[in-house]
Amino acid sequence: MASPARPVALITGASSGIGATFARHLAARGFDLILVARRTEKLQALASELPVHSDLVTADLATDDGVAKVVEVIHNCPHLELLVNNAGFGSLGRFWLADPASQEAMHRVHVLATVRLTHAALAAMTARNKGGVINVSSVAAFSINEGNVSYCATKAWMNSFTEGLALELRGAQSAVKVQALCPGFTITEFHDTLGVDRKGIPGFLWMTADFIVQTSLKGLDKGKVIVVPGWIYRTIVTFLRPLPYSIRRHLRRPFRDRRV
């Protein structure tokens, strides 16, 4: 059972990649964990290696039932101090050629699930004046790309949502922190699932999940709202942010011509 003396962190998309790495780092920080993902076997394997108590929740956040299940878990967790909205996925191909169900699922996971889970968590956190929420976004939030429209749009929404929450929390003089974590290319299953050949992307652009999570947690400790790991990506974002659409629309990614 979870120890009442230890804080609890809930991580979505915890079965692999950045989510699993968050679990390992937060366990090292003394958090008990609630691990959420669709793949039960992966969650069990992860939990078996962690030195803390871990509750496992199998849920698909692209469905209403899955979201409701995790919301209930949040409501029943009086010691929840950190929510990591990490669940997500990408797709390649022009929007009108893509499977509409997959596009809707992306918006459900990145946007609607983030809204519901964050609302449930902040209600209790703000009442206790303690806690934090990390929304795992992407450097894609600062760009527009052919074949990646929904991903870029939902991540841009996530940044805006997080900045708005930070403004409200500051206005309420709350100690609760929020962060939008915006990694670039990360060595996980994410791009493998997309079928992206890593050899087509310069090696210096790839970062490890450990580095991403370490940067995120250090940023959260300091109260940073937008965290972009790596000086290369911070430079890119600094360059992209002020550019008008007329220029940004000409900046394209190396796998832009992939079709569904």
- The pLDDT tens digits for 108-126 are 999 999 999 999 999 999 9
Are the beta carbons of 227 and 215 closer than 8 angstroms? yes
Domain encompassing residue 243: 8-248
Strand partners, 10: 34, 83
Residue 3: what pLDDT? 60
Q: Is 260 within a domain?
A: no
Residue 153 has pLDDT above 90, yes or no: yes
Closest CA to 112 of 179, 158, 58: 158
Q: Is 94 within a domain?
A: yes
Q: Is 69 within a domain?
A: yes
Q: Is 255 within a domain?
A: no
151 given a catalytic annotation: yes
Q: Is 161 within a domain?
A: yes
Residue 197 has pLDDT above 80, yes or no: no
- Considering the chain, what is the average pLDDT of its residues? 89
Residue 259: what pLDDT? 36
> Region 123-149: what's the mean pLDDT?
93
Q: Is 259 within a domain?
A: no
> Region 135-146: what's the mean pLDDT?
90
Name the burial class of residue 205, with classes exposed (0-12), middle (13-18) and buried (19+) by CB atoms within 10 angstroms of its CB. Answer: middle
Q: Is 105 within a domain?
A: yes
Note the pLDDT tens digit of each residue in 57-98: 999 999 999 999 999 999 999 999 999 999 999 888 899 999
Burial code (b: 16+ CB inside 10 Å, e: under 16) for 31-61 equals bbbbbbbeeeebbeebbeebebbbbbbbbbb
Residue 249: what pLDDT? 59
Q: How confident is the model at residue 238 (pLDDT cuts 50, 70, 90)?
A: confident
Give the neighbor-by-neighbor strand order of the sheet with 80-85. 54-58, 32-37, 8-12, 80-85, 132-136, 177-181, 226-227
Active-site option among 22, 151, 157, 255: 151
Q: Is 2 within a domain?
A: no
Residue 147: what pLDDT? 84
Q: What is the CATH number of the domain that holds 213?
A: 3.40.50.720
Q: How confident is the model at residue 243 (pLDDT cuts 50, 70, 90)?
A: low
Residue 230: what pLDDT? 95
The number of distinct structural domains making up the chain is: 1
Residue 232 has pLDDT above 60, yes or no: yes
